[in-house]
Homo-oligomer: A and B are copies of this chain.
Amino acid sequence: MQRYFTITQLTQEFDITTRTLRFYEAQGLVMPQRRGRQRLYTPGDRTRIKLILRGKRLGFSLNEVKELIEMYGKAPGETGQLRLLLDKIAARREELLEKQRDIELTLLELEEVEAGAKVRMTELQSNAKPEEV
């Protein structure tokens, strides 16, 4: 019933190397099953990998990503320290909101530069080839 992915399938899908996936495994970020020595990734493993890569894109370290994923992973029952979990969530949310603000600012600045560049560009096009020998 379970459908499995091989390691190379996943490296191709996500454009990463086998080294990377094995490294993530060594760090305890994914734990694919084995058939003999071969790794078999479940759809769940695949989702975890997606989460890892998303975290990385946002500039989180693998350790931070690991903590994050472990929050999702816990069944709501086995969460020993609920207060602690809620605090972690709050902290993580703050970081994400800060990143959002950072992005907005950067986008605004990019727009300014772009606007300037476009003006300059039409200027150049109106005076056709002014510097021709």
Give the shortest distance, in Å, between A51 (CB) and chain B (any CB). 8
Residues of chain A at interface, number, CB under 8 A: 39
CA distance A89 to B110 in the complex (A): 6
Beta-carbon contact of A117 and B86 below 8 Å: yes
CA distance A85 to B116 in the complex (A): 11
CA distance A110 to B94 in the complex (A): 11
Q: Which residue of B lies closest to A116 (CB)?
A: B76
* Interface status of A98 (Cβ within 8 A of chain B): yes
Which residues of A are at the interface with B, using a C-beta cutoff of 8 A?
A: 54-60, 68, 71-72, 76-77, 79, 82, 85-86, 89, 92-93, 96, 98-100, 102-103, 105-107, 109-110, 113-114, 116-121, 124
* Inter-chain contacts of A116 with B (CB < 8 A): 76
* Inter-chain contacts of A68 with B (CB < 8 A): 106
Q: Given known contacts A102-B54, A106-B96, is B117 in contact with A89 (CB within 8 Å)? A: yes
Beta-carbon contact of A57 and B57 below 8 Å: no
Q: Given known contacts A59-B57, A116-B76, A120-B76, is B109 in contact with A103 (CB within 8 Å)? A: no
